[in-house]
Amino acid sequence: MGCVAVSNVVPFRRVATLPPSGEREAGLRRRGEQRVLMETVYALGTMVVAADDRETKLTASRLQVYGFVTVEELGEDGRGHRLRPSEAIRARTDRPWRLSKPQVGASVTIPSLDGFLFEAAPVNLPA
């Protein structure tokens, strides 16, 4: 009996279809809004967003996910509470936000809790 090579690999070819014009225009508009907001924050250094401006808050939360802006929720006393991206996505409309340019060279810290991530003493491994 002879051996017949059968290939079950189907080449993937992406069909070049354009999204409907409404979706394409909405995507371009959204990117333009993000660019304008980011350029404004970078030019001013900091910007306050009104409490009920949900659209700007959503745009800012998208920029925060990628690290382009820092988002703080302003309390009644004017102090800012820095929001994590997961908190910013669920934007509330009862408090204003302060958007600011992220610090240059800001490092991400990884907490070490009771040796959870790192061992307290170095491990002696045989050479």
Give per-residue pLDDT as tens, 34-82: 888 989 999 999 999 998 898 899 899 989 988 899 999 998 888 988 9
Question: Whole-model pTM?
Answer: 0.60
**The pLDDT of residue 119 is above 80:** no
Residue 46: enclosing H or E segment and its boundaries?
strand 46-49
**DSSP alpha helix (H) spans, the chain:** 21-44, 54-65, 85-89
Instruction: Enumerate long-range contacts of 3-8, CB under 8 Å, 24 or more apart.
Output: none
Is 39 inside any structural domain? yes
Is 1 inside any structural domain? no
Is 36 inside any structural domain? yes
Domain region containing 41: 27-100
Q: How many domains does the chain have?
A: 1
* Cα Dmax for the chain: 86
Is 13 inside any structural domain? no
Is 77 inside any structural domain? yes
